[in-house]
Chain A
Amino acid sequence: MKENVKEKQRKGMKRETILLVVTLIITIILLSIFPDKQEAVTTASWKFFIEMILILPAVMVLMGLFAVFVPKDMVVKYLGKTAGIKAVFLGILMGALPTGPLYVAFPMASALLKKGAKISCIITFLSAWACIKIPQEMVELQFLGPRFMAARLVLTTVFVVIMGVSIERLIEWSDKKESKSMGGKDDASI
């Protein structure tokens, strides 16, 4: 499976490099048709490039550290055995630490589900994984400023907890209804 992931990454990089070349060619053509836009486009791009390149190595170092020091199986182990409201917040913390795109977290969430972790915990884990990662927050800080970042962080945390708890209730409720309609077996199916 690891080979498969590597193969996929290599393919993805090739595709992105081709896309970059295509974007560059289109931009050059566009700018030669509209020479009066040249300055505005290059200054804007250059400014964003500088802002990005000043922090990108640091962000990558943070991501690398989290990837190696917080291995996936450790996350699954910790989350699988925690219960109650603590699990919800641990879900957020554990989601915010490791790195990778969201689809990497789905198999982990599935493993957690099989281990009997709480649904609210899995939802907060996935949501935190998606949008409040620490290296990601650094990029947000750089480009959108401390007020924007802090406000979004706090609001997201609050709403993600609410969402986790409601989805858990909804799924429990619908499971109960299903098991009742199947002949009143109640919680035996769980």
Chain B
Amino acid sequence: MNSTAIFINIFALSCLIGAFIKDRAKTKQSLKVAVKSFFRILPTVLIIIILIGLLLGFVPQTQISKVIGKHAGFGGVLVVALLGAILHIPSLISFPLAASLLKSGASVTPVAVFITTLTMIGMVTLPLEIKELGKKMALLRNGISFVIAIIIGIVMGAIL
């Protein structure tokens, strides 16, 4: 078990203890929610883990780094940004996926862009967003998010 995993578990445990001292009934309810959401997300997690295995096993690193590696052009970043905007997968899953891309030869910029567009922009949920917030606000939010995702990615690529 690495130190990050230990830290995360200790953090969760101390939150749990704090909550338990504050309100027992609510904490019990939280644990019920936790168990439910664990089993709800498990199939998706397993699918992504299998896909990561296939990606790392089958796709050669040179192929990935050609498209979204250090020396790849801006086109790769745009493709990844669009992919992130269209795909509709839970954000929790986006991080292992991103890690596997990094491991297989992608550079920081496209990976950061991918995470940001994946989480912030939702083509699938855009109609709902327009219905709830109006066309102007929904389109502005998604459009500007796309631009800032790319800026965030470029800055991260420069500093990391």
Contact = CB atoms under 8 A, between A and B. Distances in A.
A110 B92 contact: no
Contacts, number: 225
Contact of A64 (B32, B44, B151): B32
Contacts of B32: 64
A44 B53 contact: yes
Contact of B160 (A40, A49, A65, A147): A147
Given A13-B43, A68-B29, A144-B95, A61 B34 contact: yes
Say what secondary structure dominates the interface of chain B. helix
Nearest to B88: A101
B79 interface: no
Say what secondary structure dominates the interface of chain A. helix
- Tier of interface size on chain A: 35 or more
A86 to B, nearest CB: 21
Interface of A: 9, 13, 16-17, 19-20, 23-24, 27, 30, 34, 37, 40-42, 44-46, 48-49, 51-52, 54-65, 67-69, 99, 101-103, 106-107, 109-110, 113, 119, 122-123, 126-127, 130-131, 133, 135-136, 138-148, 151-152, 155-156, 159-160, 162-163, 166-167, 170-171, 174
